[in-house]
Amino acid sequence: MKKDKGLALIIVLWVITLLIIMASSFSLTIQREAVIISGLKEKAEASAIAEAGIHYAILKLLHNDKEQQWQAFNSLYEISYNERRVRIQISDESGKIAINQVKKEQLLSVFESINVEESIAESLSDAIIDWRDSDDVVTENGAELEEYETAGLKYGPRNAAFSNIEEIQMVLGMTADIYKKMENIISIYTQKPQINPASASRELLLTLPDVDEEMVDDYMKQRVENEQNSENVSQPSWFTGNATKSDVFMIVAEAMIDENITQQIMAIIKKGNSTDNLPFKILKWTKDYQLPSLFLSENDEWVIN
C-alpha cells in the first residue's frame, strides 16, 4: 500500500513538473510572439510616418512661397511627426551621372572612387557603353551578344538606353557589391552629360578631376550655409562647365521609432501636371529603401533646418 502511495506521489510530481514545463514554454512562446508583433507594429508605424514624410516633402518642394519652399541640393531636413523624428533628403537628379550619356572617362573615375580594380573598371565601362549603343560592334574591353552567350547568359545587351537603374545589374561583369556602391549616384532621369555640382553628393563630387576632400568639404559646408540663410546655391569656383537643374527629384524619408528601428522610403517625382491633375508625377516609389541611415551622426552637420 505504501509502495502504491509512493508511486502515485512520484507520478503526481512528474505530472506537475510536466505542466510547469509546458506552461513555461507556452509563456515563452507568447512573449516571443508579443515581441515579434510589437516589432512588426513599430516597423509599420515607421513606414507610415516615412510615407507621410515623402508627401510633406513634396508639398514643401512645390510650395509657392519661396521662404517656405524646400531646396533640392542634396538637402537634408528634419521634422517631428507624432513625436517621432523624421529626416528627409531631397536631391535634384541633375546632381547624378546620366548613365545613358556618361562617357567612359567619367565611368572610370566613378569606379576608381569606389575601389574597383582597374581591369574590371575598364571592362565594365566598355560593357555599359556596349549595352546602350545601337550597334553590335564590341568596344575594346566590352561585351555584345556573343560575350554574354559565352558567359552562359540567356540574354544580350539591350542596344538601347537603360530603361531603369536596376537594369545595369544585367551588364556583363557587374556585381551586387559594385552596383550597391554606385546606384545612388547614377540616374536615367537626367539627360545632361555634365553633373550639376550644386545638387551632387559628396561622394560624386570627389570623382571630379583635380579636386580633393578639403575642396569638396568646404563647398558642401558653404552650400548648407547658403541654404540655411535662404541664399542662392551656386556651383563652386573650381568647377568648369555650365550645369543646369532638372525637374526630376529624388526624395528619401526616414522615420525613427527608436535607435534600432528606422524605416526608409524613396520616391522619384517629376514636376509638371500629371494625368490625375496633380502638379507632379511619381516616377518611382520604393519601400524599405537601403540608403545608409540619414540619422548617422556624421549627417548631423548637414541638417538645414
Q: pLDDT value at position 163?
A: 94
Q: Which of 7-16, 86-95, 206-215 is predicted least confidently?
A: 7-16
Under 8 Å between Cβ of 232 and 226: yes
Give the global pTM.
0.82
Q: Average per-residue pLDDT in the chain?
A: 88
Indicate whether 124 pLDDT > 90.
yes
Indicate whether 119 pLDDT > 90.
yes
Q: Which domains does the chain have, with CATH numbers?
A: 39-95+226-302 (no CATH), 100-185 (1.10.40.60)
Q: Which of 74-83, 105-114, 234-243 is predicted least confidently?
A: 234-243
Q: pLDDT value at position 31?
A: 63
Q: pLDDT value at position 35?
A: 52
Task: Tell which wins on pLDDT, 176 or 3.
Answer: 176
Q: pLDDT value at position 2?
A: 52
Q: pLDDT value at position 32?
A: 64
Which H/E stretch holds residue 263? strand 261-271
For 284-300, write each residue's pLDDT tens digit: 999 888 788 999 999 99
Q: Which of 22-36, 125-139, 180-194, 252-266 is predicted least confidently?
A: 22-36
Alpha-carbon distance of 295 to 303, in angstroms, equals 10
- Quickly state the pLDDT bin for 22 (edges 50, 70, 90): confident
Alpha-carbon distance of 230 to 301, in angstroms, equals 17
Q: pLDDT value at position 229?
A: 86
For 95-106, write each residue's pLDDT tens digit: 999 999 999 999
Q: For residue 299, what is its C-alpha cell?
A: 549627417
Indicate whether 17 pLDDT > 90.
no
For 153-183, write each residue's pLDDT tens digit: 999 999 999 999 999 999 999 999 999 999 8
Task: Tell which wins on pLDDT, 275 or 235.
Answer: 235
Percent of the chain with pLDDT over 70: 89
Indicate whether 37 pLDDT > 60.
no
Task: Tell which wins on pLDDT, 177 or 26.
Answer: 177
By CB neighbour count within 10 A (0-12 exposed, 13-18 middle, 19+ buried), where does 103 fall? exposed
Indicate whether 214 pLDDT > 60.
yes
The whole-number average pLDDT for the span 37-53 is: 82
Alpha-carbon distance of 280 to 231, in angstroms, equals 25
Mention every residue, 6+ apart, whose C-beta is less than 8 A from residue 254: 50, 53, 86, 87, 88, 262, 263, 264, 291, 293, 294, 295
**What is the chain's Cα-based Rg?**
27
Indicate whether 34 pLDDT > 60.
no
Phi/psi at 256 (nearest 5 deg)?
-115, 120
